[in-house]
Amino acid sequence: MDGGGDAQVNAGHGGDSGVAEVGVQIHHSRRLPDFLQSVNLKYVKLGYHYLVSNLLTLCLIPTMAVILVEASQMNPDDIRQLWLHLQYNLVSVIVCSAVLVFGSTVYIMTRPRPVYLVDYSCYRAPDELKAPFERFMNHSRLTGDFDESSLEFQRKILERSGLGEETYVPEAMHFIPPRPSMAAAREESEKVMFGALDTLFVNTSVKPKNIGILVVNCSLFNPTPSLSAMIVNKYKLRGNIRSFNLGGMGCSAGVIAIDLAKELLQVHRNTYAVVVSTENITQNWYFGNKKSMLIPNCLFRVGGSAVLLSNKSADRRRAKYKLVHVVRTHKGADDKAFHCVYQEQDDAGKTGVSLSKDLMAIAGGALKTNITTLGPLVLPISEQLLFFATLVVKKLFNKNIKPYIPDFKLAFDHFCIHAGGRAVIDELEKNLQLLPIHVEASRMTLHRFGNTSSSSIWYELAYTEAKGRMRKGHRVWQIAFGSGFKCNSAVWQALRNVKPSHSGPWEDCIDNYPVKLLL
């Protein structure tokens, strides 16, 4: 692509245009056989997918044609004899019908109830909390906690992180020196959670008293009373509400919270569940000089989300999505995976979260395990056959053959990859063979809001909606990674052409995106 772009630029400069055109022709002629081969392979694969996906239909058509031909050749006496035969077996027909009705009733009564996503909201902090790179570095320098080596390390991380100039840090971090305290941490959590919930209740017209289930997840801040109790107190939720507070579960806890809410909605019928996902920075800023602990300071930013789920059939008409699958993978039995994201004290006694150099390799292994479970649930049969065939060949004939990577673009229309950092997005784009448009929502969320932990996948979904790309029937894959080490996936299906909700996080800036990111 770079070569083509350069040729086009040169062609626009008068006398050099002829040379440029010749260069383009030679360049393309060398690649023509490869290009034709790739096109042929592309259409062969498309033909294969079409054949396998429609194999049942292709087989049924001639079968139905034979039946119709045979039926047309039957005379009235044959039809009369068939009717008399059915009359003599009336008891059998009645028994079979009764069994069919009973079986259908049992299935309808015991099948899992659909879980609908009515709406969701994402918190957007006020502009005075923005932390441009220059202000961030000046502030770090003036606090006096970091030596020159640490300051230079933070500067490099910021430049390569994929974050933009408009991300937010909490109010306590804007003072010199910073003022982290329990009161300030509570204030940060209240602003984020209540801000997201206020918008959610306004947009859905659901009264807080109608909420039957509340699940809150925040990894690093777990005060007493809990964050879920703070919400119950603020909105005066009913006394028999089933509330849960998930702590220490990392950036993938948002999907875990959705899974917990889904299981509860299967038991408690005709109710609403609210899932609140957030993280707290105020009390978890690192003020030491250990490099592996400084990275979270550069990546994590203020954010949170609130999601309204329902198991009411009447809500299907107004819901945005239906929950299709949740797949959870936990690699905590492995010591390296367990310690790769680890909260601890450095040699000076300062607390922070340390990120291991093996993090990306461990994340890759967790992803592989997760998609091995998810693949059979979502991939078309054509992809499953290719994967199985490659596995058999590798096992029986050639152990050196590369495993087949299923084409998840055939299963999903949109991808919401946790905006944990630029390297995470790059790695998944490469390993899943995605196109730039598939990771656009993740990259732009990282650029605009930073790593908002478990809520980042909702900012990404909001981006897709704000771009007007979500159509009825589209499938969305939300995938997140977290300490432990965990990789969790949620699959949603759009029930209608989804438009962005009022007061969305991208409401006044979506036209500025996507932005061009520096390599």
65-75 residue pLDDT tens:
776 666 666 66
Which uninterrupted H or E stretch holds 327?
strand 321-330
Mean pLDDT for the stretch of residues 152-172: 95
Which CATH number is correct for 116-512, 1.20.1250.20, 3.40.190.10, 2.130.10.10, 3.40.47.10? 3.40.47.10
The mean pLDDT of 183-201, rounded to a whole number, is 98
Q: What is the mean pLDDT of residues 435-445?
A: 97
Q: How far apart are CA 405 and CA 392, in angstroms?
A: 14
Q: Predicted confidence band at 51 (pLDDT cuts at 50, 70, 90)?
A: low
At 387 the pLDDT is: 76
The predicted-structure confidence for 371-387, as pLDDT tens digits, reads as follows 989 988 999 888 888 87
pLDDT of res. 24: 32
pLDDT of residue 29: 40
Q: pLDDT-derived band of residue 101, with 50, 70 and 90 as boundaries? A: confident
Residue 35 has pLDDT above 50, yes or no: no
Q: What is the DSSP string of 45-104?
A: HHHHHHHHHTHHHHHHHHHHHHHHHHHHT--HHHHHHHHHHHHHTHHHHHHHHHHHHHHH
**CB neighbourhood size of 96 (10 A):** 11
Using 50, 70 and 90 to split pLDDT, how confident is the model at 87?
A: low
Strands 242-246 and 211-217 turn out to be parallel
Own/partner contacts of 329-336, CB < 8 Å, gap of 24 or more, are 329/366, 329/369, 329/370, 329/373, 329/486, 329/487, 329/488, 330/484, 330/485, 330/486, 331/362, 331/365, 331/366, 331/369, 331/484, 331/485, 331/486, 331/487, 332/484, 332/485, 332/486, 334/362, 334/485, 336/362
Return the pLDDT at 22.
32
Alpha carbon distance 3, 6 (integer Å)? 5
Share of the chain above pLDDT 70, in %: 82
Helix (H, G, I), strand (E, B) or coil at 40: helix
Count the Cβ atoms, other than its own, within 10 Å of residue 59. Answer: 10
Kindly tell me if the per-residue pLDDT of 126 is higher than 50: yes
pLDDT averaged over the chain?
Answer: 86
Give tens-digit pLDDT for 386-398. 877 877 787 777 7
Q: What is the mean pLDDT of residues 485-496?
A: 97
Least confident of 86-90, 121-125, 481-485: 86-90
What are the b/e assignments for 437-447, b being 16+ CB within 10 Å?
ebbbbbbbbbb
Q: What is the mean pLDDT of residues 200-217?
A: 97
Percent of the chain surpassing pLDDT 90: 70
Residue 40, pLDDT score: 47
Strand partners, 148: none
Both tokens of residue 491?
A: 């699959």
At 19, is the pLDDT very low, low, confident or very high (cuts 50, 70, 90)?
Answer: very low
Res 157 pLDDT > 70: yes
Residue 89: phi and psi, rounded to 5, are -110, 35
Indicate if the pLDDT at residue 80 is higher than 90: no
Residues designated as active site: 251, 330, 414, 418, 447, 451
Q: Among 70-74, 110-114, 183-187, 264-268, which is the least confidently predicted range?
A: 70-74
pTM attached to this predicted model: 0.82
State the residue for tokens 């592309």: 42
Give me the pLDDT at residue 17, please.
Answer: 36
- Averaged pLDDT for residues 3-15: 38
Distance between CA atoms of 409 and 426, rounded to whole angstroms? 16
Query: Would you place residue 505 in the very low, low, confident or very high pLDDT band (cuts 50, 70, 90)?
Result: very high
User: What mean pLDDT do residues 23-47 have?
Assistant: 44
* Per-residue pLDDT, 377: 93
Instruction: Find the mean pLDDT for residues 207-213.
Output: 97
pLDDT digits (tens, 9 = 90+) for 304-351: 999 999 999 999 999 999 999 999 999 999 999 999 999 999 999 999
- In sequence order, what E strands does 218-271 have? 242-246
pLDDT band at 32 (very low <50, low <70, confident <90, very high): very low
pLDDT at 103 over 90: no
The tens digit of pLDDT for each residue in 258-287 reads 999 999 999 998 999 999 999 999 999 999
Asked whether the predicted pLDDT for residue 1 surpasses 60, the reply is: no
